[in-house]
Amino acid sequence: MTAKALSHSAVATHNSKDDLYLIVHGKVYDCTSFAADHPGGEDFLVELAGQDATEAFEGVSHSDGVSAILEDLYIGDVKRIPGEPVDYPRTKNHLSISPCATSSDGISFGLYSVLIGAISIYAGCWYISNSAAGTH
C-alpha cells in the first residue's frame, strides 16, 4: 500500500471500532481488522481510536514481534499542519496523566528554603551580637 500523509484531524475521524486508526511514533496504523485479535484486548484500542496511542503503546511491554504486525497495519505518516497541536488532545482521557508538582517547583521550593534559612541565621547572629554589645 502506498503510504499516505494524514493530519491529526484526519486520523481523528477514524475513531470507532469499525473504523479504527491509531498513531504510534508518528505513524498511522489501520487497526480496524486487528482490534478484535489484539492480545491485550480490543477495548484498549477502541478507547484510543483516532488518537495518538504512543504513550499507551509504550506503557505496555510489547514484544519485538509487534513490529511485524505494525508493518502490516501501517498506512502512512502523520502530516504536521501548522497550528495543530503536536500531541492531539485526548477526548477520552482515561490514560491521561494527572497534574502534579513539576521538578522546577521542587527546585524553587528548595531554593526558598535555603534562602529563608540563611536569612534566619544571619538575623540570629545579628541579634546575638547586638544584644551582647548592649550588655556593655
> Which residues contact ligand HEM by CB under 6 A?
22, 24, 29, 31, 38-40, 44-45, 48, 53, 56-57, 60, 62-63, 65-66, 69-70
Closer CB to ligand HEM, 34 or 79, in the complex:
34
CB 22 within 8 A of CB 29: yes
37 three-class SS = helix
Give the shortest CB-31-to-ligand HEM separation in angstroms.
6
CB 26 within 8 A of CB 70: no
Closer CB to ligand HEM, 58 or 84, in the complex:
58
DSSP 117: H
Give the shortest CB-57-to-ligand HEM separation in angstroms.
4
Give the shortest CB-53-to-ligand HEM separation in angstroms.
4
Grid coordinates of 66: 509487534
Q: Which helix (H) or strand (E) holds 29?
A: strand 27-30
Q: Which residue is nearest to ligand HEM (CB)?
A: 40
